[in-house]
């Protein structure tokens, strides 16, 4: 079954065929590490990571590069404000990114290339672009000449001649055309700088991605990701300079993810406005955040709010409950269930893959998981047995393809106070003292403990 992916460049969904059979190359424009990671970084990382997981599930080898832009104006600005080296700022934020990615079960990329580690590769590209007439040096800067190739603007649908007033040339910039962009920026006093044939300076924003993608993944990569806000100018410029160098298509599929919408509130970390991942992670179970992000197609915008996340928490628990009932995390693998239950499992499996094959439609795939969850619950209600447990295992496996269900239920250890109350309630129920039983249940609720009476007796749950 072929996987189909929507491509921004051709504005169409096409069957995915990797450049090299059996091997998929993915490049994602990651963070410019000028600050702590925000929700948008998690979304684009997750979108790409789910593709990566699914390709691997489908038996492909995946080479996945996620880059860090570790030197730019704002990083320097911040470092100066703090009186430290630029690298101090970037290292700290890279660490934070990796930590929160781990927390949300986002698997590590194959490689995390950094701009400052590829200065040589960038120089080689820039030199080649100058030699072939696509770039020019001016006053210590080097600019890409957007008019040097007729197809500039093909990704974002822009035409060079449509540029309007308002593109002001910064003082000191010697661009021939306002849309020309810096490949190399001459160093201003006090800035970190690397020597180059055009004088000391640092890389422009776009060239790094071309250089790093080509170095680590080849001249034509299969899938290029990142947020939709990067389509112009970043990705547009990557295409221009890369294809001017190699003469080959830079990426076969442009799979940019939709942006995170924070509602009316402007991005500020004050009251209730989730902007940084740490703000979310401190209030929302990372598994729920991951589930929530997956419940909307990766290309659609998504709203982030505490309310939405809390709703997602309820919905996600619906998926986890049958797993917890069946002990899916520790149950040994067995033979597939038969009968109607077996059919329900096979159907969910088929539809799940169908949805994922269609441009990684995790929202639709999740819908089929809910259907399977109901079938599992029903089987469990009807007495369970090996078949019910194996159907729960199937649900667990399918969710696992999306990287869900990674936390096994905690082996709860309760404070003595709670255990005493619980024991008292068991006795009260034995005595059919319903009034006292309910009182104790309320008392436990005050302590944040839920009591559920089932056929196996009384169960305690947190929250």
Partner RNA sequence: GGCGGCAUAGCCAAGUGGUAAGGCGAGCGCCUGCAAAGCGCUUAUUCCCCGGUUCGAAUCCGGGUGCCGCCUCCA
Segment 339 to 358, residues that bind RNA, using CB under 7 A: 355, 358
Cis check for the bond before 131: say yes or no (omega within 30 of 0): no
**Which residues, 10 to 29, sit near RNA by CB under 7 A?**
11, 13, 29
Question: Which range, of 41-49, 83-91, 135-143, 211-219, touches RNA by CB under 7 A?
Answer: 41-49
Exactly one of 5, 18, 25, 30 binds RNA (CB under 7 A); which one? 30
234 near RNA (CB under 7 A)? yes
Which of 144, 205, 352, 396 forms a contact with RNA (CB under 7 A)? 205
- Whether 223 and 51 have beta carbons less than 8 Å apart is answered as yes
CA dihedral 386, 390, 392, 395 (to 10 degrees): -170
**Which residues, 134 to 163, sit near RNA by CB under 7 A?**
156-158, 162
Q: Which residue intervals of 265-415 are DSSP H helices?
A: 277-281, 286-294, 306-326, 339-357, 362-381, 385-401
C-beta closer to RNA: residue 23 or 447:
447
State the Cα–Cα distance between residues 24 and 21, nearest whole angstrom.
8
**DSSP of 32-94, one letter per residue?**
B-SS--BHHHHHHHHHHHHHHHHHHHTT-EEEEEE-BB--SHHHHHHHHHHTS-HHHHHHHHH
Per rule CB under 7 A, is residue 106 in the interface with RNA? no
Cα–Cα distance for residue pair 383/450, rounded to 1 Å: 24
Tell me which of 434, 442, 448, 462 binds RNA, using CB under 7 A.
434
The reply to whether 245 sits near RNA by the rule CB under 7 A is no
- Look at strands 23-28 and 221-227 and give their pairing: parallel
Contact characters 391-420, RNA, x per CB under 7 A: ------------------------------
User: Nearest-CA neighbor of 257 among 30, 76, 435?
Assistant: 30
Measured CA to CA, the distance from residue 133 to residue 141 in angstroms comes to 15
Candidates 108, 340, 453, 462; binder of RNA (CB under 7 A) is 453
CB of 397 to RNA, least distance (A): 18
Q: Which is nearer to RNA, 10 or 20 (CB)?
A: 10
Number of CB atoms found within 10 A of residue 383's CB: 8
Measured from the CB of residue 30, what is the shortest distance to RNA in angstroms? 6
Residue 110 sits in the site that holds RNA (CB under 7 A)? no
269: contact with RNA by CB under 7 A: no
Asked whether position 116 contacts RNA by CB under 7 A, the answer is: no
Options 54-62, 232-240, 282-290, 407-415: segment touching RNA (CB under 7 A): 232-240
Minimum CB–partner distance for residue 254 and RNA (Å): 12
Cβ count within 10 A of residue 211: 26
How do strand 457-462 and strand 449-454 relate by DSSP bridges?
Answer: antiparallel
- Identify the burial level of 223 via C-beta atoms within 10 angstroms of its C-beta, where 0-12 means exposed, 13-18 middle and 19 or more buried: buried
Largest Cα–Cα separation, the chain = 92
> Binding of RNA at residue 303 (CB under 7 A)?
yes
- Show contacts with RNA in window 208-227 (CB under 7 A): 226-227
- Among the listed ranges 34-42, 240-248, 340-348, 414-422, the one in contact with RNA (CB under 7 A) is 34-42
233 binds RNA (CB under 7 A): yes
User: Which one of residues 371, 418, 424, 460 is an interface residue with RNA (CB under 7 A)?
Assistant: 371
163-182 residues in contact with RNA (CB under 7 A) are 164, 166-167
SS percent in the chain: helix, strand, coil, step 5:
45, 15, 35
Number of residues that bind RNA (CB under 7 A): 80
Closer residue to RNA in complex, CB, 335/455: 455
């Amino acid at each position: 079954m072929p996987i189909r992916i929507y491509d921004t460049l051709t504005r169409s969904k096409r069957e995915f065929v990797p450049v090299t059979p059996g091997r998929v190359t993915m490049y994602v424009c990651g963070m410019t590490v000028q600050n702590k990671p925000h929700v948008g970084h998690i979304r684009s990382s997750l979108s790409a990571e789910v593709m990566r997981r699914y390709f691997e599930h489908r038996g492909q080898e995946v080479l996945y590069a996620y880059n860090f832009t570790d030197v730019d104006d704002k990083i320097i600005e911040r470092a100066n404000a703090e009186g430290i080296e630029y690298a101090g700022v970037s290292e700290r934020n890279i660490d934070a990114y990796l930590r929160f990615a781990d927390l949300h079960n986002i698997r590590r990329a194959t490689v995390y290339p950094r701009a400052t580690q590829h200065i040589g590769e960038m120089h080689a590209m820039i030199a080649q672009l100058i030699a072939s007439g696509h770039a020019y040096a001016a006053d210590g800067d080097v600019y890409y000449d957007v008019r040097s190739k007729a197809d500039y603007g093909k990704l974002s649908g822009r035409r060079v001649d449509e540029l309007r007033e308002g593109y002001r040339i910064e003082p000191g910039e010697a661009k021939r055309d306002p849309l020309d962009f810096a490949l190399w920026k001459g160093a201003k006093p006090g800035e970190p700088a690397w020597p180059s044939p055009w004088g000391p300076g640092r890389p422009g924003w776009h060239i790094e991605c071309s250089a790093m993608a080509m170095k680590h993944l080849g001249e034509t990569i299969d899938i290029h990701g990142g947020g939709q806000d990067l389509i112009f100018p970043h990705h547009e410029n990557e295409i221009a300079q890369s294809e001017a160098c190699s003469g080959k298509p830079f990426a076969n599929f442009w799979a940019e993810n939709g942006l995170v919408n924070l509602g009316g509130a402007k991005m500020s970390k004050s009251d209730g406005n989730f902007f940084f991942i740490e703000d979310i992670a401190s209030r929302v179970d990372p598994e729920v955040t991951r589930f929530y992000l997956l419940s909307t197609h990766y290309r659609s915008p998504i709203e982030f709010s505490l309310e939405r996340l809390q709703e997602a928490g309820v919905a996600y628990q619906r998926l986890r409950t049958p797993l917890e009932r069946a002990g899916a995390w520790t149950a040994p693998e067995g033979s597939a269930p038969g009968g109607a239950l077996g059919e329900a499992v096979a159907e969910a499996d088929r539809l799940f893959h169908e949805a994922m094959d269609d441009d990684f439609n995790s929202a639709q795939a999740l819908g089929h998981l809910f259907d399977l969850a109901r079938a599992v619950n029903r089987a469990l209600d009807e007495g369970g047995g090996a078949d019910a447990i194996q159907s729960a295992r199937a649900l667990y496996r399918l969710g696992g393809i999306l990287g869900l269900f990674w936390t096994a239920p905690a082996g709860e250890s309760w404070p003595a106070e709670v255990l005493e109350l619980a024991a008292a309630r068991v006795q009260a129920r034995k005595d059919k003292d319903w009034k006292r039983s309910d009182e104790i249940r309320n008392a436990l609720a005050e302590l944040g403990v839920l009591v559920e009476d089932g056929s196996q007796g009384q169960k305690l749950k947190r929250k």
